[in-house]
């Protein structure tokens, strides 16, 4: 047992000090922070003058309360003629001019520009004009501005009730939106973890085997001990990276901008069910272990480190398939492809959390997927454990199937 922990400790200390490990954490933090703080980053790096818009109102309605200036747009209502305003647009005093007219009790608008507006500005301006047009149409019914705004701003409270007692109560739109967002984050992390740590353990075993260092090591330790040490050390390393990433990211959310982003995070977590959180954590921990088992096995099959990338390609393809199915399921989480793939152990961690959050499924379905994943991990562990002892000191050429046949032929 002491030899096992010596190998685990050596691997852990060696890898945790590497530049790649530290850089990967910094990269994860940078990517997540860019997404969460993008509005602040954009304001700091790409600060621009607000779009200056001249408003020419040729109707009898007062639209000034609807077109309020902010940091992105500055509105200026003017009584000047169209020709004068268009001339100022050409000269650059205004970026655009909006002419509001009335026809058959409906508002019409014309946007005049010399240089086309950016897409976001054009979309925002069009949305404001559309809202103003609806206000105008409602007020033709002789309603006050407050009454018209009250009608258009009215929100209907919708409560979902599922009559199938096995599936429980239906999820609200906020719960589904929060779950989908977290599912994307989990899927992205798992996908990156699969690539990095699968590559790490496969390359390590292949490197030791190719340099004949493994032959010296196995003279004093059992292949099974080496197999368990590699998986345990790399698994602890993956958990360390995950914990450090969470701690650093939480600290950033609490410190930057007075903790305003942390409020959004807690609001999202509040919309997640405890079932979703527990199942997602279980899927994540088991799936990392599953891919590491495959990585150690693939590394033992190759004869040199150059063959490692080819050996781990099947596992990487399964991880990629799960990620792309996750992305395709964001808009249609009830398709047969998503349902079937959520039970495939190598894809469960990416797809099943999406189904739990975005659909109303019975409590048994996530449990069945979890049981399948656990059974797969146990079976694959014992298969790899047995095969590793025979393949780790076997050298052969050819493709993966040929290597497997050679190992079985030589060791049987």
Written as tens digits, the pLDDT of the chain (412 aa) is 577 788 788 888 888 888 878 888 888 777 777 776 666 666 656 556 788 999 998 888 888 888 888 878 899 998 888 889 888 988 888 989 999 888 877 888 888 888 888 887 888 888 888 888 887 877 777 766 677 667 766 666 555 555 555 554 455 566 666 667 777 777 777 777 777 888 888 887 777 666 666 656 666 777 778 778 888 888 888 888 888 888 887 887 777 766 667 777 777 777 777 888 888 889 988 988 898 888 887 777 776 777 677 777 877 888 888 888 888 887 778 788 888 988 999 888 888 888 887 777 788 899 999 999 999 999 988 888 777 767 665 656 555 566 566 655 655 5
Cβ-based neighbours of 82, under 8 Å, separated by 6 or more: 56, 99
pLDDT for res 19: 83
Sheet holding 106-113, edge to edge: 73-77, 51-57, 96-103, 106-113
First to last CA, the chain: 28
Cβ-based neighbours of 273, under 8 Å, separated by 6 or more: 175, 356
pLDDT for res 369: 92
Q: What separation in angstroms does the CA of 249 have from each of 6, 27, 241?
A: 32, 12, 12
pLDDT for res 367: 92
pLDDT for res 275: 83
Domain residue ranges of the chain, discontinuous segments joined by +: 49-152, 170-411
Q: Which CATH class is domain 49-152?
A: alpha beta
With tokens 């949305």, the residue in question is 127
Judge if pTM exceeds 0.75.
Answer: no
């Amino acid at each position: 047992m002491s030899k096992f922990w010596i190998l685990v400790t050596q691997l852990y200390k060696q890898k945790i000090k590497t530049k790649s490990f530290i850089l990967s954490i910094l990269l994860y933090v940078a990517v997540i922070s860019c997404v969460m703080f993008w509005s602040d980053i954009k304001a700091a790096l790409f600060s621009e003058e607000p779009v200056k818009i001249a408003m020419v109102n040729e109707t009898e309605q007062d639209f000034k309360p609807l077109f309020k200036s902010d940091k992105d747009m500055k509105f200026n209502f003017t009584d000047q003629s169209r020709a004068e305003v268009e001339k100022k647009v050409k000269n650059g005093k205004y970026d655009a001019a909006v002419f509001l007219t009335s026809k058959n009790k409906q508002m019409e608008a014309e946007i005049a520009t010399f240089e086309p507006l950016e897409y976001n500005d054009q979309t925002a301006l069009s949305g404001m004009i559309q809202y103003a047009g609806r206000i105008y149409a409602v007020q033709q019914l002789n309603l006050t501005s407050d009454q018209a705004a009250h009608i258009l701003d009215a929100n209907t409270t919708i409560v979902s009730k599922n009559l199938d007692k096995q599936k429980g109560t239906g999820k609200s739109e906020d719960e589904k939106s929060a779950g989908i967002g977290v599912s994307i984050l989990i899927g992205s992390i798992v996908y990156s973890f699969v690539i990095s740590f699968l590559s790490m353990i496969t390359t390590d075993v292949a490197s030791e085997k190719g340099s004949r260092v493994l032959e010296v090591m196995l003279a004093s330790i059992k292949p099974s001990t080496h197999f368990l040490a590699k998986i345990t050390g790399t698994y602890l390393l993956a958990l360390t990276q995950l914990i450090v990433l969470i701690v650093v990211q939480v600290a950033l959310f609490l410190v930057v901008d007075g903790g305003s982003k942390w409020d959004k995070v807690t609001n999202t977590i509040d919309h997640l069910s405890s079932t979703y959180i527990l199942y997602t954590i279980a899927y994540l921990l088991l799936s990392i272990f599953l891919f590491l088992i495959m990585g150690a096995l693939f590394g033992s099959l190759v004869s040199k480190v150059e063959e490692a990338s080819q050996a781990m390609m099947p596992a990487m393809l399964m991880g990629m398939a799960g990620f792309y199915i996750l992305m395709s399921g964001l808009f249609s989480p009830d398709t047969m492809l998503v349902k079937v793939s959520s039970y495939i152990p190598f894809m469960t961690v990416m797809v099943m959390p999406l189904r739990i959050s975005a659909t109303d499924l019975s409590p048994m379905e996530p449990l069945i997927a979890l049981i399948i994943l656990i059974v797969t991990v146990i079976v694959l562990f014992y298969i790899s454990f047995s095969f590793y002892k025979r393949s780790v000191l076997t050298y052969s050429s050819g493709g993966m199937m040929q290597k497997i046949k050679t190992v079985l032929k030589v060791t049987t």
